[in-house]
Structure 1
Amino acid sequence: MNSKVENRRREISRLVKEKYEVTVTDMAALFGVTMETIRGDFDYLAEQEGFVRGHGNLTRPEKAKYKEHYLFHERQLLQKEEKKQICKKAAELITDGDSIYLDSGSTVTYLLPELTEKKGLTVVTNSIACLFCYIMEGYQEAFKEQGHRFLFLGGEVEPNIRMTYGTFFEQCVTEISYDRVFFSADALDMDFGCSNVDYQAYSAIKPVFRQVRNRILLADSSKFNRKAAYRVAGWKEIDCLITAGELKDDWKLFLENRRIPHYQV
């Protein structure tokens, strides 16, 4: 087995563990290979790692769905230090009194502790993970001391991504204006822009973009040179990119040519 196949199968395995389910269509788009190739990968991973092979999908065994007390914790641990550094830099772009929106990506949850140094923020999110952190890790007291408001927007619940979405969510989110949105994506491609594997995450962030002045993309090193099924934004819609590690020269040139401010941490 060549290294390209091994790397692809390793990444598919990671996504199944993270998201509980992936589809042939989404994985073929993400890796730029045929659906037949992905079906072979699914068959291999089902046999080797015990995943459940369904019609057009690959899922974690049902018992594994409940194995962890807090499944989102798995996702947070991926590139954990990178995500923390990204959020430290992101906090520098926030001004006292801002109204900010935090999306449902695992990177954004690391922004909460950085907000305790700011004053008078309105923090809006559909992330159940952010809500849990806010309540369970005691941020409500620190936010109160700094004069922050924390608004969690309800709606239909997507349990695997730990987020709300849907008609009721959209009615709520479009009634608020935002100075900045901090969001992440599953994949970044020079031609396609930033994209998500999950339709729900895609559908939730799109109405936010219509209400915001400044769109800030947070992306760890694993997201570059990938393409997923649902296009979140083109590069003309991105006001700033924050990433971690070494940004390759072709990406530096690409961002500079489009006059997109970018930070490496």
Structure 2
Amino acid sequence: MNIVDRHKLILKKLEEEGFVKVNELSQEFNVSLVTIRKDLKLLEERKLLFRSHGKAIPANPYIAENSVNIKEKIHPQEKNKIAIAAAATLEPHDCIIIASGTSVIEFARHIKPIEGLTVLTASLNTAIILAEHNEIDVMQLGGNVRSSSSSVVGPIAEKMLTEFTFTKLFLGVDGIDLEFGLTTTSSMEASLNKQMIKAAHKIIVLADSSKFSKKGFGRICGIDEVDHIITDAGIDEKTKERLIELGVELTIV
């Protein structure tokens, strides 16, 4: 088997299974581990896969930090549908936390005044949007302002959360990995999100399907701590099935 044929079969296997392992490819093609590693290196240089710990996956799972102004232009239609579905979960007298990110900002735009609704948020943009409704009691977390996300983080914000309890947390994330869990690109934001989870009875994650199989720098929590994920129809079937197996309520819009 020549190198061109091997590369075609590697990419075909990658598409079908979602990953390939160096040792398994070596046995299957009856070539050395060195040869397979060279094959994968060449394919990675062509941006056709990403090598990681003795295997390869379709794309680089690690996320670079972008400003909220850039993020809001990514998958806007999907975020709009997710936001509408999230707003439909609100009930009279809910006391909710809205974290930060473009998905939750879009969610805020779809929130209508509901009897007794109280909102605490880390997002400055969310607070401004909801402040237009006199019927909604809006609380802004204090702390250090992250310019990239237009939100607050830090010990002041985390301490404030210990004084309250909430019915729901609406959380935006940068990555969802079924093994590693929920992540964000900021360690300080991840720390604040952990405190939000402790303060809320139900954890609802708003994430478009591009966030799956991605990882940010800071780990927020495992999938087992999530109650409900609202995403779009781009989610792949294997991920969908696995989330249902793990007991996560899944809404696909």
Matched, 1:221 2:217: no
Identify the structure with the greater helix proportion: 1
Give the one of 92, 96, 101 matched to 2:92: 96
1:108-163 CA deviation, whole Å, 9 max, x = no partner? Answer: 0011222115332101101122234x2xxxx434x21xx21011011112212211
Which residue matches 1:159? 147
Give 2:127's aligned residue. 131
Deviation by residue 1:54-80 (Cα, 9 ceiling, x = unmatched): xxxxxxxxxxxxxxxxxx332212111
Whole-Å separation in 1 of the counterparts to 2:93 and 2:110: 15
Q: Deviations over 1:211-259 (max 9, x none)?
A: 1100001111211112222211111100001001232121122112111
Listed as ranges, the matches of 1:181-260 within 5 Å are 181-260=169-248
Q: Which structure 1 residue ranges, 5 or more long, are not aligned?
A: 20-71
Q: Structure 2 CA distance, aligned partners of 1:161 and 1:122? A: 22
Aligned-residue identity in percent: 25
One-letter amino acid of the counterpart of residue 131, structure 2? Q
Instruction: Give the RMSD, CA atoms, in angstroms.
Output: 2.1
Residue 23 of structure 2 corresponds to none
Higher mean C-alpha deviation, range 222-231 or range 186-195: 222-231
Say if 2:127 and 2:139, in contact at 8 Å, map to a contact too.
no
Tell me by how many angstroms 1:5 deviates: 6.4
3-state DSSP class of the match of 2:205?
strand
Q: How far is the alpha carbon of 1:262 from its aligned partner?
A: 0.1
Q: Does the CA-based 8 Å contact 2:96-2:119 persist in structure 1?
A: yes
2-structure distance, mates of 1:181, 1:171: 17
160-169 or 83-92, which moves further after superposition? Answer: 160-169
Corresponding residue pairs, total: 201
* 1:170 alignment counterpart: 158
TM-score, with length taken from structure 1: 0.70
User: Aligned residue for 1:140?
Assistant: 131
What stretches of structure 1 move > 4 A for 4+ residues in a row?
5-9
SS of alignment partner, residue 112 of structure 2: helix
Q: How does 1:12-161 map to 2 (within 5 A)?
A: 15=64, 18-19=66-67, 72-132=68-128, 134=129, 139-141=130-132, 143-144=133-134, 147-161=135-149
Secondary structure in 2 matching 1:120: coil
Tell whether the 8 Å contact from 1:158 to 1:200 is kept in structure 2 after alignment. no
1:8 is displaced (CA, Å) by 6.0
The residue identity in structure 2 corresponding to 1:108 is: V
Q: TM-score, normalising length from structure 2?
A: 0.73
Map Cα deviations across residues 141-190 of structure 1 (whole Å, 9 max, x no partner).
4x21xx21011011112212211111211121211111000001111111
